[in-house]
């Protein structure tokens, strides 16, 4: 069975500082990996995805993530965060069936 | 391109009452999902449709939850009777092509059961 663990439930950071949101997954088969962002009272928006190929994936809003198969990780990074990045971030895994399995979420709080 | 539409956005009911949520996916998207997101948790899949057929409903509490997508376009999720633990946001998502696996999410319906 597939599962996702987001290692930090809350990450406070100051504006313009770098941030890393950690995600580990478990799966016995090849997977696709995703990061979604959820702003208050809104649905989920895709930040980036890993399907195959280059292990460094670039997404929207300056975010990037690195797929590490040996560590079964897919950590999300941004070199300099803005106040507007304050939101809940979800890591998710799926197989070709399309069903997404989400982690518990990481609340990113950017302070001025 | 219009996104995934959901209604209502908010609903408050008392336990043992019934409630229904509606979702209209992006035009042309064959696959439709309903997720339940309890406060402080990630979304959990309830049911997946491919056109008007059910692909996966293994996590749907069938004694009280039902869903349909009769014409393979919009979908309705119903809870009857509701329990306190059903308080959550119900998210609908749609998918065009499994090869890209990008699901597009609606804004959700926030259900409060008192």
**Structural tokens at position B112:** 């409060």
Beta-sheet strands, E only, within B1-114? 5-7, 10-13, 19-24, 31-37, 44-50, 53-56, 65-68, 75-79, 88-95, 103-105, 109-113
Predicted pLDDT of residue B100: 65
pLDDT reading at B99 higher than 70? no
Inspect the interface and report whether the beta carbons of B48 and A105 lie closer than 8 Å. Answer: no
Residues of chain B neighbouring A102 (CB-CB closer than 8 A): 42-44
Inspect the interface and report whether the beta carbons of B42 and A96 lie closer than 8 Å. Answer: no
Tell me the three state secondary structure of residue B1. coil
Residues of chain A neighbouring B108 (CB-CB closer than 8 A): 42-43
Buried b (16+ CB within 10 A) or exposed e, B47-77: bbbbeeeeebbeebeeeebbbebeeebebeb
Rounded CA-CA distance A51/B19 in Å is 38
Facing residue for B107 by CB, picked from A42, A100, A104: A42
Predicted pLDDT of residue A1: 76
Q: Does B38 contact chain A (CB < 8 Å)?
A: no
CA distance A18 to chain B (A): 24
Count of A-B CB contacts under 8 Å = 62
Q: What is the pLDDT of residues B4-51, one digit of tens each?
A: 999 999 999 999 999 999 999 999 899 999 999 999 899 999 999 998
In percent, how much of chain B has pLDDT > 90?
82
Positions of chain A with pLDDT lower than 50, given as ranges: none
Predicted pLDDT of residue B1: 63
Inspect the interface and report whether the beta carbons of B42 and A105 lie closer than 8 Å. Answer: yes
Rounded CA-CA distance B105/B85 in Å is 23
Q: What is the pLDDT of residues B61-85, one digit of tens each?
A: 999 999 999 888 999 999 999 999 9
């Amino acid at each position: 069975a597939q599962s996702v663990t987001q290692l930090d439930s809350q990450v406070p950071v100051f504006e313009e500082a770098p941030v890393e949101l950690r995600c580990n997954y478990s799966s016995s088969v090849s997977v696709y990996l995703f990061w979604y962002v959820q702003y208050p009272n809104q649905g989920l928006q895709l930040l980036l995805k890993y399907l195959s190929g280059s292990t460094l994936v670039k997404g929207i809003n300056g975010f990037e993530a690195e797929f590490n198969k040996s560590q079964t990780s897919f950590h999300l990074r941004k070199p300099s965060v803005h106040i507007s990045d304050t939101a809940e971030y979800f890591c998710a895994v799926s197989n070709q069936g399309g069903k997404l399995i989400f982690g518990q979420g990481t609340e990113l709080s950017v302070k001025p | 391109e219009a996104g995934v539409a959901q209604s209502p956005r908010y609903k408050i009911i008392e336990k043992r009452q019934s409630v229904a949520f509606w979702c209209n996916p992006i035009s042309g998207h064959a696959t439709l999902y309903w997720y339940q997101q309890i406060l402080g948790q990630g979304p959990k899949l309830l049911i997946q449709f491919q056109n008007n057929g059910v692909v996966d409903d293994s996590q749907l509490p069938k004694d009280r939850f039902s869903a349909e997508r009769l014409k393979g376009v919009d979908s309705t999720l119903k809870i009857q009777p509701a329990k306190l633990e059903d308080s959550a946001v119900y998210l609908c998502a749609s998918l065009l092509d499994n090869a890209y696996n990008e699901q597009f999410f609606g804004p959700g319906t926030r259900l409060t059961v008192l």
